[in-house]
Structure 1
Amino acid sequence: MTRAGSLMRIAAAYAIALAVAAAWLAWGPDTRWLWLDTLIADVLATLVVFAASRRYGNSSFYDAYWSVVPPVLLVFWWSQGSLGIDDVRAWLVTVVVMLWAVRLTGNWIYGFPGLQHEDWRYPMLRDQAGRWELLVDLVGIHLVPTVQVFLGMLPVYVVVTRAGRDLGWLDAVALFVGLGAVALELVADVQMHRFVRDRQPGQVMERGLWSWSRHPNYFGEVTFWFSLALFGVAASPEVAWWLFVGVVAMLAMFLGASIPMMEKRSLERRPDYQAVVERVPRFVPRPPRRATE
């Protein structure tokens, strides 16, 4: 299957998924809580994507859903809330979310070779699950990320559905952190693409941002979600105690699952990676340690 044909099939699946979500929101039972109605619609859309993943035998069908849905949630919530179109804080958080979504989706499209390719982690997880592979595919690869992203977007829900406090210094911090996170991820992506294009067999990445962190893209991703939580606190500090649940979920996923899996694979495939592990910080960027003789 060609790359263009693969992208068209994924786009069609997402269009059907969003149509199913919209139908639920328009004609499904009303729970009286907008966030819960939206969560149910999001799960139904995920099930459509899951069905497409199984149809084509490729769970990477889901990958772009991570960055496609947040702007849709934001726009829908804003349209259903009590805020007017002139709310400055809502526009600030919209700018951050849209830039993040365009960058991440664009990066995925740039690197996606077609449905003949699947993220190496997915078949590994399914194989490890044995007879439970269908459940792992549905829950672990599709539903859990959907819930994580939804939790990460809850501060945006707070910002765009009701009037918050006046703009203040925390909004400026949230904007700076959010834009910085998107910029960091963009630079890390560009540096990695250039490295992959020119690398020699077995060579490891330790240039630019990747010399300060072994996973600067993941650090930028967590920082982005942290900026959304800051926007939520700036709008409604009285509910700050639960606004960071999405950030915690993201951090747990990257530090507890994604990074260990990638580290293990890199050590198995690239012997020189051990030297990188010894010198370059794992997650939070900082100057590398000096190489020891």
Structure 2
Amino acid sequence: MATSLSLPALSSLLDTTDFSKTVTPFLHQLSISHIQPLLTGQVPVKEWYLSTNPLITTVHFALAVTLAVLVISEINRNYSQIDRLWSLLPTIYIGHYTLFAHMNGLDTQRLDTLTAFSLLWSIRLTYNYWRRGGYNIGSEDYRWEIVQKGVPRWGFILLNIVFISFIQSALLCMIAAPAYLHLLASTLPITPTWSLTDLVLSRGLLLALLVETFADQQQWVYQSAKAAYRTTGVVPRGYTKADLDRGFVVTGLWSFCRHPNYTAEQAIWVLVYQWSCLVSGELWNWTGLGAIGYLALFQASVRLTENITAEKYKEYKEYQKMVNKFVPGLGALTGASEFEKTK
């Protein structure tokens, strides 16, 4: 069982969601004086690790990531450094909580399941980012290039410090924070064992990941066909010239909403959060700030992306009118076909 130095002494599941009991007492461990014995070798790594609250360890790592991506991005003027870690950090954080639980002899069934799912999520996201050329040297998110044109240099440096490097790193830390509540719940003998609810939620996560995978694949196939058509002038099998001249995909899952992959991605981390709520028996807990922040990030990011797309493709505004952004509406089953007829 974990010592009182690293985990709070709790008496009920309600206590696992109490910020004043599970986080506040350990904030002093964020100090340099707490890290110094580790850095100087005065304390063995394992001893330091087990004597440090696992949430605080995660925050230490997230701050180190913030500093690293900030320095690297300003050196090479490539502001997509955090994007390269996006598919890895939540899994690292969840895996850390799971490892901590194993090292303290706690029940890890929920954490093990969450870690296994997160690994699948990371593999899928990493592969998708890689095949889009995201790991190529010199690659850069075109959105930041456009933002840079609209703000002075000092303003973009401030944006990089506050949002790109710090807030996004903190967000990735926060969406994994529900795993901390699972860890806390596993210290209590009154915590319910694995149930049908856990099974449904874990399978719901897999379903959302499957939808996201199919949506990304449909986008990839379309964009590959469009690129081949523009290079050779030959319309690939399964498409018409009008399909490819349009410039964006409107069929398959993309006829239900304009961003089915993002809908599924947001659903994943909302479900991860809701899982911690169901285990604790509370409808709301402080880790929900991660899920809310994630939803807000997608709203802002997609708004910028769609403005760029609408300027690039003249028919995109009609597509926006007929098909909802994230949540399928009443016209979801006919949106794409009606769009084609109108065009």
Compute the TM-score of the two structures, normalised by the length of structure 1.
0.83
**Which residue number in structure 2 is paired with residue 270 of structure 1?**
313
More helix by share: 1
Deviates more, 1:212-221 or 1:128-137: 128-137
1:1-293 → structure 2 map (5 Å cutoff): 27=38, 33-81=53-101, 84=105, 87-112=108-133, 114-130=136-152, 131-163=154-186, 164-199=191-226, 200-238=244-282, 240-255=284-299, 257-285=300-328, 286-289=332-335, 290-291=338-339
Compared with structure 1, are the counterparts of its residues 232 and 26 closer, same or farther at alpha carbon in structure 2 (3 Å cutoff)? farther
Deviates more, 1:263-272 or 1:165-174: 165-174
Q: Could you say which structure has the larger radius of gyration?
A: 2
Q: Is the 8 A contact 1:170 1:230 kept in 2?
A: no
Compared with structure 1, are the counterparts of its residues 24 and 216 closer, same or farther at alpha carbon in structure 2 (3 Å cutoff)? farther
SS state at 1:81 partner: helix
- Deviation (angstroms), 1:117: 2.5
Q: Which amino acid in the other structure matches residue 307 of structure 2?
A: K
Q: Is the 8 A contact 1:185 1:221 kept in 2?
A: yes
Q: Which amino acid in the other structure matches residue 178 of structure 1?
A: L
Alignment RMSD (CA, Å): 2.6
The share of aligned pairs that are identical, in percent, is: 24
SS state at 2:88 partner: helix
SS state at 2:326 partner: coil
- Deviation (angstroms), 1:183: 0.7
- Deviation (angstroms), 1:281: 1.4
Compared with structure 1, are the counterparts of its residues 134 and 85 closer, same or farther at alpha carbon in structure 2 (3 Å cutoff)? same
Q: Is the 8 A contact 1:215 1:282 kept in 2?
A: yes
Compared with structure 1, are the counterparts of its residues 55 and 232 closer, same or farther at alpha carbon in structure 2 (3 Å cutoff)? same
Compared with structure 1, are the counterparts of its residues 25 and 109 closer, same or farther at alpha carbon in structure 2 (3 Å cutoff)? farther
Q: Which amino acid in the other structure matches residue 258 of structure 1?
A: S
Compared with structure 1, are the counterparts of its residues 47 and 166 closer, same or farther at alpha carbon in structure 2 (3 Å cutoff)? same
- Deviation (angstroms), 1:216: 1.0
Aligned mates of 1:35, 1:239 — CA distance in 2 = 21
Q: Is the 8 A contact 2:90 2:175 kept in 1?
A: no
- Deviation (angstroms), 1:37: 3.2
Q: Which amino acid in the other structure matches residue 127 of structure 1?
A: K
Q: Is the 8 A contact 2:98 2:108 kept in 1?
A: no
Q: Is the 8 A contact 2:208 2:268 kept in 1?
A: yes
Compared with structure 1, are the counterparts of its residues 144 and 207 closer, same or farther at alpha carbon in structure 2 (3 Å cutoff)? same
Q: Is the 8 A contact 1:281 1:288 kept in 2?
A: no
Once the two structures are superposed, what CA deviation does each residue of 1:25-79 show, in whole Å capped at 9, x if it has no partner? Answer: 9826999543123212211122112222222221122212111111211222222
Aligned mates of 1:146, 1:201 — CA distance in 2 = 38
Q: Which amino acid in the other structure matches residue 107 of structure 1?
A: N
Q: Is the 8 A contact 1:177 1:223 kept in 2?
A: no
Deviates more, 1:102-111 or 1:281-290: 281-290
Aligned mates of 1:280, 1:137 — CA distance in 2 = 33
- Deviation (angstroms), 1:91: 1.8
Compared with structure 1, are the counterparts of its residues 35 and 171 closer, same or farther at alpha carbon in structure 2 (3 Å cutoff)? same
- Deviation (angstroms), 1:144: 1.3
Q: Structure 2: where are the runs of 5+ without partners?
A: 1-33, 40-47, 227-243
Q: Is the 8 A contact 2:113 2:202 kept in 1?
A: yes
What number of residue pairs does the alignment pair up? Answer: 270
Deviates more, 1:236-245 or 1:65-74: 236-245
Aligned mates of 1:204, 1:25 — CA distance in 2 = 53
Q: Structure 1: where are the runs of 5+ without partners?
A: 1-22
SS state at 1:283 partner: coil
Q: Is the 8 A contact 1:166 1:235 kept in 2?
A: no
SS state at 2:80 partner: helix
SS state at 2:207 partner: helix
Compute the TM-score of the two structures, normalised by the length of structure 2.
0.71
- Deviation (angstroms), 1:86: 6.0
